[in-house]
Amino acid sequence: MTGPRQPDDSSATAGQSRPEAGYEHIDDDVCRSFQRSVEIVGKKWSAAVLLAAMRGARRFVDYRARIPGISNHLLSQRLRELEGHRLIERLVVPTTPVLITYRPTEQGASLMRVLHPLIEWSAKNGDMDT
């Protein structure tokens, strides 16, 4: 005969389950900050613009060449938004004609370093639409 049954740690207690290992320290403020960050990079074309910047795009035409399908209007909008979030830096060189370049800030580069495993994961796992 066996002793009393021990509670199963994997079952839900009062509607909640235990956090996965490594996530138990994350509080609500961190969750909100994470959500804002994910929404910035998850906005359509934003990650592609950041990736193009990390791959060496500097001028507007470089970004267009590295991001097939994006319109000029939307590329301009995303560059402005990412500049506003301090992920892309816009540099104006007062020449004739004026030369405008964009490059990732250290903050933008650090974000892309964090996202690099996702790039590798997506390369291994292919197209998720099929």
CATH number of the domain at 118, please. Answer: 1.10.10.10
Task: Evaluate whether residue 130 is within a structural domain.
Answer: no
Residue whose C-alpha is closest to residue 79's, from 57, 95, 110: 57
Task: Evaluate whether residue 6 is within a structural domain.
Answer: no
Question: Would you list the DSSP string of the chain?
Answer: ---PPPPPTTS-BTTB-PPPTT-TT--HHHHHHHHHHHHHHHSTTHHHHHHHHHTT--SHHHHHHHSTT--HHHHHHHHHHHHHTTSEEEEEE--SS-EEEEEE-HHHHHHHHHHHHHHHHHHHH--TT-
Task: Evaluate whether residue 90 is within a structural domain.
Answer: yes
Task: Evaluate whether residue 92 is within a structural domain.
Answer: yes
Task: Evaluate whether residue 18 is within a structural domain.
Answer: no
Q: What is the pTM of this model?
A: 0.77
Q: Look up the domain containing 60 and give its range.
A: 28-124
pLDDT tens, N- to C-terminus, the chain (130 residues):
555 555 455 444 556 778 788 777 888 888 898 899 999 999 999 999 999 999 999 999 999 999 999 999 999 999 999 999 999 999 999 999 999 999 999 999 999 999 999 999 989 987 766 5
Give the total number of structural domains in the chain.
1
